[in-house]
Structure 1
Amino acid sequence: MRADTTLADRDVGEMAVVETFPEAVVDLFDLLTRLGDPVTLLLVVAAGYLLADHLGVSSTRMATALALALGGFAATLALKYAFALPRPPGAGTDGYGFPSGHALGATVVYGGLAALFDDRRLSAAAAALIVVVAASRVVIGVHYLVDVVVGVAVGLGYVAAGLRAGPGYSPASVTAAETGRTFALAAVVGLVALAAAVVTDTVVAAAATAGGWIGWRVAGDRVVAAAGSTRRLVASVALLPGVVVVALLVLDGGVTLPVAGGLAGGTVALVLAIPGLSG
């Protein structure tokens, strides 16, 4: 049997078990899986960064979480297009199946936040969310078990690499320079994704990671120096709906590749710059 055929037929029997789940269980997990949606995850870290001062958390920690999220998104695409393995039959959704982007993204975002803030309760919540998101992808039939297991494993590896490149594990504090190194790693992974395939998703990933790196280099020091203010809060809240609209627009593929890249990179750079410009 050919190796690629063996990899494609990777269900190890669990899809037959999945088909026996009650419809109510499937419907519940269909809702829970949205906790790992790329737009949801990016919005969580973007909102946390923009509102950091008013939430009583460090802007540099949240910027690092955003850098991890962007890099995780790019890593997912690099692997999906490198392996090009299908989803289970009847999945009802487009795109390649290996590894699970929801499982990888949830691990990077929730696991990254837990590592950055080093809080036991946050770590427990993060672990629960990762398990729920990973399990949901199998229960609703859009991934094989191996897809989510590898997604979680790669996500953990990326968090470790991102923290090692930047502030380290469970850092007492995070400097602008350390955050910048995490953005630099994400930008490199974005280029790897683009090398794997030139499509809307990878162009968006490469542009977003590059925009994050450039935006932080330009505005990082000002963000750290700026004090929280009502003006900063208003500007941050006003920007969030725009972030959602742009994310949905570019990921939907309704614009040309150059426009998608420009919107993605420009929006990420603006998100990073706003706290420094409006302080």
Structure 2
Amino acid sequence: MFSDGRGTEIGEALRGLEQDPVIVLFALLTQLSDVWFLFLLGGVHYIAGDELPQWGLERRHGLFVLGLLLTYVALIGVLKQFFMLPRPPGAGTPPDIQWVPSVLRGVFANISTADGYGFPSGHALGSTLVWGGFALVVGKDERSRLWLALASAVIVIVSLARVILGVHYIIDVVVGTVIGLVVLGVLYEVADRGTAPGRVLVVAAGIGVLGLLQGFTFESVAAVGSAVGAWLVWRAVADSTPAHPSNRREVVAGFAVFGLAGGLFVLLYSLESSLLVTFFGTAIAVGGVVGAPLAGTQLVEQSGGG
């Protein structure tokens, strides 16, 4: 199962159905479980709280979702380095689709290809962990099944997309999904059904340290820096952070802080600075996201809008 021939007849059949519009569609859909999208999913809900109609969250639940993302980023690095199994041949070569505008071909190549090790699938694991966790905490009463159905659909679609795009074997996404389900179940209980997100941040930091034992790279240092920064800031602001925003001005101010912190993280990612700068920079950036709701509240109060 763990050989280079871990592709199955199912995977080959799915790739045999490839048509240009299908490839483009699934390349776009796979972004539903890309790190940047999952970061927005967790961060936006953490800051906005129940100001979002129908799918608002108590802020501790929002941070629980964000903590699941940090856990995923740390865990997938450890797993891939442990197994060190390659992707299917041609995973790094973008599909030749002539009607994609030249100005967008760089973006399309980025979202339709993958490099590095392939087992297990990060997108499958991440979508299961983060979308599944989101469904567990956002669902209420009769809406719970609807959110779980939506999360399941995202997981299946993203997993199929990774196989159809030719960047994973079918076993990669199956195992990624199973690991995601197991880890989600454990963390949901550890975090007292999502109400104690600090515990998930500790787990993410611990897994990040394991990644450092495998090697000091930008990814491993950024993973542990992000988790440590989030945990330290949450320890400092947990009791002061309102469970729910009192008005939309606080949310807007919180989003401004979120944008600055996110911008710092993108800058660090694009520059790939020294490992020391990466550690402290990601700690400050993700810690800034965790502190954004309280910072937004204080900014509004200082401006006389509280």
Q: Could you state the TM-score of these two structures normalised by the residue count of structure 1?
A: 0.89
Kindly, what percent of the aligned residue pairs are identical?
A: 34
Q: Which of residues 82, 107, 127 in structure 2 aligns to 1:106?
A: 127
- Comparing 100-109 with 236-245, greater Cα deviation is found at 236-245
Q: Give 1:261-276 correspondences, 5 Å limit.
A: 261-276=279-294
- Are positions 1:49 and 2:70 aligned together? no
User: Partner of 2:19 in structure 1?
Assistant: 22
Q: Which of residues 99, 103, 127 in structure 1 aligns to 2:152?
A: 127
- Comparing 18-27 with 7-16, greater Cα deviation is found at 7-16
User: Partner of 2:3 in structure 1?
Assistant: 7
Task: State the shift of 1:13 in Å.
Answer: 4.0
- Comparing 83-92 with 7-16, greater Cα deviation is found at 7-16
The separation in 2 between residues aligned to 1:51 and 1:68, in whole angstroms, is: 18
The separation in 1 between residues aligned to 2:220 and 2:39, in whole angstroms, is: 16
Task: State the shift of 1:237 in Å.
Answer: 2.0
Q: Give 1:194-205 correspondences, 5 Å limit.
A: 194-205=212-223
Q: Which one-letter code corresponds to 1:228 in the other structure?
A: S
- Are positions 1:206 and 2:224 aligned together? yes
The separation in 2 between residues aligned to 1:81 and 1:24, in whole angstroms, is: 34
- Comparing 204-213 with 14-23, greater Cα deviation is found at 14-23
Q: Which one-letter code corresponds to 2:276 in the other structure?
A: P
Task: State the shift of 1:226 in Å.
Answer: 7.2
Secondary structure, in 3 states, of the residue corresponding to 1:221? coil
**Larger Rg, first or second structure (1 or 2):** 2
Q: Which of residues 185, 202, 208 in structure 2 aligns to 1:160?
A: 185
Q: 1:99/1:252 Cα in 2 relative to 1: closer, same or farther (>3 Å)? A: farther
Q: Give 1:1-279 correspondences, 5 Å limit.
A: 7-17=3-13, 18-55=15-52, 56-92=56-92, 93-118=114-139, 119-168=144-193, 174=195, 178-224=196-242, 227-252=245-270, 254-279=272-297
Deviations 1:253-273 (A, max 9, x none): 532222222221111111111
| Structure 2: runs of 5+ lacking an equivalent | 93-113, 298-306
1:99–1:151 CA contact under 8 A, matched in 2:
yes
Q: Which one-letter code corresponds to 2:115 in the other structure?
A: D
The separation in 1 between residues aligned to 2:50 and 2:20, in whole angstroms, is: 43
The separation in 2 between residues aligned to 1:226 and 1:152, in whole angstroms, is: 32
| Structure 1: runs of 5+ lacking an equivalent | none
1:87–1:98 CA contact under 8 A, matched in 2:
yes
The separation in 1 between residues aligned to 2:268 and 2:125, in whole angstroms, is: 21
2:163–2:169 CA contact under 8 A, matched in 1:
yes
- The number of residues matched between the two structures is 268
Secondary structure, in 3 states, of the residue corresponding to 1:278? helix
Q: 1:25/1:227 Cα in 2 relative to 1: closer, same or farther (>3 Å)? A: closer
Deviations 1:152-209 (A, max 9, x none): 11111111121121123xx7xx2xxx22212211211121222222211111111111
The separation in 1 between residues aligned to 2:86 and 2:174, in whole angstroms, is: 16
1:29–1:140 CA contact under 8 A, matched in 2:
yes
2:43–2:66 CA contact under 8 A, matched in 1:
yes
The separation in 1 between residues aligned to 2:76 and 2:264, in whole angstroms, is: 20
- Comparing 125-134 with 156-165, greater Cα deviation is found at 156-165
1:30–1:136 CA contact under 8 A, matched in 2:
yes
Task: State the shift of 1:124 in Å.
Answer: 0.7
The separation in 2 between residues aligned to 1:157 and 1:103, in whole angstroms, is: 13
The separation in 2 between residues aligned to 1:198 and 1:146, in whole angstroms, is: 28
Q: 1:252/1:278 Cα in 2 relative to 1: closer, same or farther (>3 Å)? A: closer
Q: Which one-letter code corresponds to 2:122 in the other structure?
A: G
Q: Which one-letter code corresponds to 1:101 in the other structure?
A: G
The separation in 2 between residues aligned to 1:88 and 1:225, in whole angstroms, is: 46
Task: State the shift of 1:52 in Å.
Answer: 1.0
